[in-house]
Amino acid sequence: YLDDSNESNRSRSIEDAQKFIDKLLSYVNCIDFDKIKAYSSEEAATKFGMKLLEKNELFAVLVFENQNGNQLTPFVSYKIRMSSDRVDNTEFTRDSRWRPGPRMRPYIDLKYLSMGFGYLQDLIEHYIIAEHTRLNATQLPGIYLQQFPYPCHINDNADPTLIYFFLLIYCVATIAQSFLISVFFSRANLAAASGGIIFFVLYLPYPFMVRWMTILPPYVKALMCCRRTCLRRGGRPTFWRSTSSRAPAHQWTDITPSPLYGDKFNLLYVISCCLITTPVSICCSPGIWKPSCLVWCIAGSHSKLVRKQLI
C-alpha cells in the first residue's frame, strides 16, 4: 500500500476519508446544542413553544413564578408545561373508561415517566435544593421510584344470556337499518355497492362525538343514540366493551351503572334505543312487507344467472 505504484489507491483512500469527515461535520453542524432558551415572560415562552410544538420539537416549557431578579426566593413555585399528548389529563382522578388492573402500559398509563416529566421535575428540584444549600447537585441523595402494587382483582366473564340478547338485538337493528338504506335505491347492484359505503360513512362522526360523552346529559345522548346512526352503532360496542372490562362484568342486575366516570348513560339506555329504533326502521322499509322472494338459478347451457321473482 505504501509503494510508489499504489499512489493512486492512497489518493483515492484519502479523498474518501476527507469526504466522510466533511459529511460527518455537516451532520454535526445541524445538531442544535442550544436546547434551553430564556424568556422574560410566560406568554413569550408559550408563543415560541407553540411554534416548536407544530414541528414536534418541544420538550417542555418551564415557568418560575414570583421570582425577583436572578436570585431564587426561599419558596420556589414553578410550572412544567408539556404537550397534552405527553402527559395525562389531570381533570379527573381516574380514567374515563376504568378497568381493573394496574396502570402499567408505558405510553398510555405511565406518560409522566416515559415522556420525561418526572425526570425533569426531579432534575429541577435537585438544582433548586443545591442553589439554596450551596451544595453540589451530585452530592444530593437520589430518588428511587417504585409503582404501588395493585390489589388482587377478578376478571369476571359476563352473563351469557345477556350477551346473546344484546348480540341478537344488535344484529336485528343492523339488518333493519340495511333494509332502510336499500329503500332509497331501485336497483340491487347499486344498492349493494352504495349501501356498504353509506353504512361505513355513518360511523365516521362517532370518534368526534365520543369526546363529549362525559359532558352531555343522559337524555341528550339517548336522543342522539335513537336518531343518529353513527352514535347508535358505535355506542353499543363501546359501552359493551367498557363495561365488560370492569369487575363484575355485565349482569342482568347490573346494567344501570355507567362504565364512564361521572356519567349516567348506561347499557339499559343502549338496549332501549335498539328496541325503539328497530321497529321504526322496519316500518319505514316497505319492501320487507312484500310477500315475495328472489330466487337465483342457472338457466340453459350458457350458465347465465337469471333472477326470477316468485309472487
How far is Cα 86 from Cα 60, in angstroms, rounded to an integer? 10
138 and 241, same domain (yes or no): no
Instruction: State whether 164 and 149 are in the same domain.
Output: no
| Whole-number Å distance between alpha carbons of 52 and 54 | 5
Last residue of a domain, one of 153, 169, 194: 153
* Domain that residue 289 falls in: 160-298
Q: Is 13 a domain residue? A: no
Is residue 116 over pLDDT 60? yes
Residues 211 and 288 placed together within one structural domain of the fold? yes
Asked if 67 contacts 73 with a C-beta cutoff of 8 angstroms, the reply is yes
pLDDT bin (cut points 50, 70, 90) of residue 248 is: low
Q: Averaging pLDDT over each range in 230-244, 254-268, 273-287, which range is the top one?
A: 273-287
Q: Please give the pLDDT value at position 71.
A: 78
pLDDT value for 89: 77
When pLDDT is averaged across residues 179-200 and rounded to a whole number, the result is 82
Residue after which a domain boundary falls, among 111, 137, 153: 153
Q: Are residues 97 and 202 in the same domain?
A: no
* pLDDT, position 3: 63
Q: What is the identity of the amino acid at 133?
A: T
308, pLDDT greater than 50: no
Does a structural domain hold residue 23?
Answer: no
- Whether 124 and 190 map to the same domain: the answer is no
Mean pLDDT of the region 219-233: 58
Q: How many structural domains does the chain have?
A: 2
Rounded to an integer, what distance in angstroms lies between the CA atom of residue 256 and that of residue 41?
Answer: 51
Residue 131 forms part of a structural domain = yes
Assess whether 88 and 184 both reside in one domain.
no
Rounded mean pLDDT, 35-64 = 89
pLDDT tens-digit series, residues 119-169? 999 989 988 888 888 888 778 888 888 888 888 766 666 778 888 888 888
Same domain, yes or no: 172 and 281: yes
Q: Write down which residue in 122, 153, 184 finishes a domain.
A: 153
Whether residue 210 is found in the same domain as residue 267: yes
In a domain, 24, yes or no: no
